[in-house]
Amino acid sequence: MTRLKAISPEEATGKTKELFTAIQGKLGMVPNMMRTMGNSPALLEGYLTFSGALAHGALGAKTGELLALAISSNNNCDYCVAAHSFIGEKLVHIDSSALKNARSGAAADIKTAAILKFAAQLLAKKGMVSDEDVNAVKNAGATEGEIAEIVGHVALNILTNYFNNTANTVVDFPAVEAN
């Protein structure tokens, strides 16, 4: 059972309504996570702004979705695993084996594998990574800008994972269990 109410787009007012209208125009729907975030227009706007900025980053959509899957699986967020599995397959066109591998923090490509490993280290070490951790991802080909974006993706996904786990958001994507 949900712990926080998802606001219906028809019931939304003020800034929340404005944000829902923009989301509806872009996605054709307002996903339950965003409907629930709509209880705080400040949170929803912050999420949309941060997510939008990272979407235009150097890592690209494919790596962003693979990171989201690895982080969401690590944080046991069924909502985000389902959402990013769907987005990864249907919108970014990532093959199913790569999506499955990302949920366990693995990738066939050396650079992507190092990026996912670095994200896992950030989570496990609560950001207190070592010189060796940073050098390993650099040696796999990540630039300093990409490393900064990895940290950003970890932060963004912690936000959505913790939010959905707190709210117990109803999954409105095809279900995929986090673990």
Residues 65 and 41 in one domain: no
Same domain, yes or no, for 28 and 112?
no
Return the pLDDT at 177: 62
48 shares a domain with 125: no
- Along the 179 residues of the chain, how does pLDDT read in single tens digits? 899 999 999 999 999 999 999 999 998 999 999 999 999 999 999 999 999 999 999 999 999 999 999 999 999 999 999 999 999 999 999 999 999 999 999 999 999 999 999 999 999 999 999 999 999 999 999 999 999 999 999 999 999 999 999 999 999 999 886 55
Domain boundaries, position 125: 60-167
Among candidate residues 169, 162, 156, 154, the one with its CA nearest the CA of residue 49: 156
**Given this model, what pLDDT does residue 175 score?**
85
Number of domains in the chain: 2
Whether residues 78 and 40 fall in one domain? no
Answer yes or no: do 40 and 101 share one domain.
no
Query: Is 177 a member of any domain?
Result: no
151 and 84 assigned to the same domain = yes
**175 inside domain:** no
Regarding whether 155 and 67 lie in a shared domain, the answer is: yes
Residue 140 · residue 170 · CB < 8 Å: no
Are residues 134 and 118 located together in one domain of the fold?
yes
* Residue 151 CA from chain centroid, whole number: 12
Q: What is the CATH number of the domain that holds 65?
A: 1.20.1290.10
Residue 2 belongs to a domain: no
- 85 within some domain: yes
In this structure, the answer to whether residues 47 and 84 fall within a common structural domain is no
Q: Answer yes or no: is 178 within a domain.
A: no
Give yes or no: residues 81 and 163 share one domain: yes
Alpha carbon distance 38, 44 (integer Å): 6
